[in-house]
Amino acid sequence: MHIQGKDCQTRKYYATYNTLLGIKELMLKETSLLNSIRLQLKDALTSPASRKKLIDSMEGILHRTQQRAAYPRSWKRCKLLYSRSRKLMKLSRGNMQLQFQSKGITVLS
C-alpha cells in the first residue's frame, strides 16, 4: 500500500514537472517572439522599406498562427475517422469469421 501511494505521488510530480516544463518552453517562445517584434519595430520606424518588411513579417506570423490553430481540429477529425475505420474493420473481421464458421471453416487469428 505504501509503495503504491509513493508511486502515485511520483507520477503526479512527473506530470507537474512536465506541465511546468511545457509552460516554460511556451514562455521562452513568447519572449523570443516579443523581442523579435520589438527589434523589428525599432528598425521599421527608420524607413518605409523596413516598415513594409515588418508588415509582411507580422502577416506571416498571423498566417502561421491561424494554421496552427486549425491543426488541432483537423487532428481531432483524423483521429475520429481512424477510430471509426478501426471499428468497421473489427466488425467486418467479426462478420467474416462468423461466415467462415457457419461454413465450417476454421479461421486462425
DSSP 15-69: HHHHHHHHHHHHHHHHHHHHHHHHHHHHHHTT-HHHHHHHHHHHHHHHHHHHHHH
Domain ranges of the chain: 2-79
* pLDDT > 60? residue 106: no
pLDDT digits (tens, 9 = 90+) for 42-92: 777 788 888 888 788 888 888 887 777 766 666 677 777 777 777 776 666
pLDDT digits (tens, 9 = 90+) for 2-51: 787 788 888 889 999 989 999 999 999 999 988 888 887 777 778 888 88
Q: Can you give the pLDDT at residue 109?
A: 44
Q: Can you give the pLDDT at residue 96?
A: 53
The pTM (predicted TM-score) of the whole model is: 0.41
